[in-house]
Amino acid sequence: MWHIKVPASTANLGSGFDSLGMALSIYLECWFTLDDSLAIEVRGEGRGMIPETSDNLVWRTADTLYRHVTGSPMPTGRLKVVSQIPLARGLGSSAAAIVAGLLLANTVLEKRLTVDELMEWALKLEGHPDNVAAALYGGFVFAWNDGRRVHVHHYRSPELKVLLIIPSFHVSTEAARQVLPTQVSLEDALFNSQRLALWIHAVSQRDWSLLRYAGEDRLHQPYREALVPGMRPIIEGALAAGAEFAALSGSGPTMIALVSPDRLEGVRRRVFEIAEAVFPEGFTVHETAPSPWGAQSVLDSWRWRSASNIPWHTRLLQTSTQV
Ligand SMILES: Nc1ncnc2c1ncn2[C@@H]1O[C@H](COP(=O)(O)OP(=O)(O)OP(=O)(O)O)[C@@H](O)[C@H]1O
Ligand SMILES: N[C@@H](CCO)C(=O)O
């Protein structure tokens, strides 16, 4: 049996539209055993909504990669997918499903592809690199494209708590990209490029006092506010109550705040009060932490650790930059 575990992710982090991402300690797991026919079982988030057929995104992705490498379909079997990641809420559920499928096929193939090759595949299937890079490599990532291939730089995530304010309604990434303009002003482009540089400086210097400025954005959040009324009061309220950072998570509708442990309770209370006023249809406030771990093949991880004492994610990261 193969066992794959992939973290949720938050993308953009304000100013880093389609380039910054961070893995979160909320997971999608799947188990796969070879068998004569295909049987898929979905549990947890998405149960009853996600197909339990060969249309399932985890399976489709595994099959696509396997066919590309071998010319044959992915061998059938029993696939169980259990996810804690809410769907279409800006927490990278589709990225986790795609990365799980790629890692599953690659594990069955006895790792013919490197993690950087898997990243290229993940980008091709997801369309933007930020969530899939965080899900694959773990930690805090910065992804950029040189026109031929994507590069991922990896940093330790801020040592801060994560508060997620998750409205009960869904926003698909597709819908949230359709509201974006095709052109922006030079002034707005400059505004974001300064703040994105500040993010990288803050994370390199481990200076969280800069994050409230680094997170400011004019490229996507102002346009997405129409889909998430309530976004601005939550972000402003979290910052006023002492959060180091607050922004829309990915394409929304979740808002994320990064908070030092001593201020967590005050910020939580404040965002809860605001959310009660702005999300009458319902919401949850969830506390979590960044995940240092990217996608793992759990049995391999155990095998490799006992064989070499080198954790799986360290081996994965040997091909990418770690700061
Ligand atoms: N556990 C899963 N198994 C199979 N497919 C899944 C699973 N979770 C999510 N998906 C697929 O991903 C789709 C949601 O993708 P979408 O990009 O709209 O939202 P998201 O990934 O949660 O949000 P974001 O990209 O903003 O972080 C689902 O409709 C489903 O097709
Ligand atoms: N960078 C992507 C993330 C989607 O989760 C977007 O904002 O559309």
- Write the CATH number for 260: 3.30.70.890
Are the beta carbons of 251 and 226 closer than 8 angstroms?
no
Give the binding-site residues of ligand 2, using a 6 Å CB cut-off.
Answer: 11-12, 17-18, 90, 128, 130-131, 173, 176-177, 220, 250-251
The confidence score (pLDDT) of residue 311 equals 37
Please state the ipTM of this predicted complex.
0.94
For ligand 1, say whether the CB of 172 is within 6 Å of any of its atoms.
yes
Same structural domain, 217 and 300: no
Looking at the 3D structure of the chain, how many domains does it have? 2
Q: Is 295 annotated as a binding residue?
A: no
Same structural domain, 117 and 47: yes
Same structural domain, 213 and 150: no
Same structural domain, 115 and 225: no
Same structural domain, 257 and 177: yes
Same structural domain, 151 and 80: yes
Q: Is 252 annotated as a binding residue?
A: no
CA of 27 relative to ligand 1 center, distance in Å: 13
For ligand 1, say whether the CB of 88 is within 6 Å of any of its atoms.
yes
Q: Is 91 annotated as a binding residue?
A: yes
149: CATH: 3.30.230.10
Each as own residue / partner, the long-range contacts of residues 265-274 (CB below 8 Å, 24 or more positions apart, any chain) are 266/241, 266/242, 267/163, 267/238, 267/241, 267/242, 267/243, 268/163, 269/241, 270/237, 270/238, 270/240, 270/241, 271/163, 271/165, 271/234, 271/237, 271/238, 271/241, 273/237, 274/230, 274/233, 274/234, 274/237
Select from 13, 173, 249 the residue to mutate for testing ligand 2; criterion: most ligand atoms less than 8 Å from CB.
173
Domain with 234, as residue range(s), is 161-288
The confidence score (pLDDT) of residue 308 equals 38
The confidence score (pLDDT) of residue 300 equals 54
The confidence score (pLDDT) of residue 297 equals 84
Q: Is 20 annotated as a binding residue?
A: no
Q: Hey, what are 98's tokens?
A: 């795609």
Q: Hey, what are 186's tokens?
A: 């030079």
CA distance 152 to 116: 8
CA of 251 relative to ligand 2 center, distance in Å: 5
Q: Is 89 annotated as a binding residue?
A: yes
The protein residue whose alpha carbon is closest to atom 8 in ligand 2 is 251
The confidence score (pLDDT) of residue 281 equals 92
For ligand 1, say whether the CB of 250 is within 6 Å of any of its atoms.
yes
Same structural domain, 152 and 61: yes
Same structural domain, 149 and 9: yes
For ligand 1, say whether the CB of 107 is within 6 Å of any of its atoms.
no
Same structural domain, 148 and 236: no
Same structural domain, 45 and 86: yes
Same structural domain, 123 and 106: yes
For ligand 1, say whether the CB of 93 is within 6 Å of any of its atoms.
yes
Return per-residue pLDDT of the chain as tens, 323 residues: 899 999 999 999 999 999 999 999 999 999 999 999 999 999 999 899 999 999 999 999 999 999 999 999 999 999 999 999 999 999 999 999 999 999 999 999 987 899 999 999 999 999 999 999 999 999 999 999 998 999 999 999 999 999 999 999 999 999 999 999 999 999 999 999 999 999 999 999 999 999 999 999 999 999 999 999 999 999 999 999 999 999 999 999 999 999 999 999 999 999 999 999 999 999 999 999 999 999 998 765 544 343 333 333 333 333 333 33
Same structural domain, 30 and 136: yes
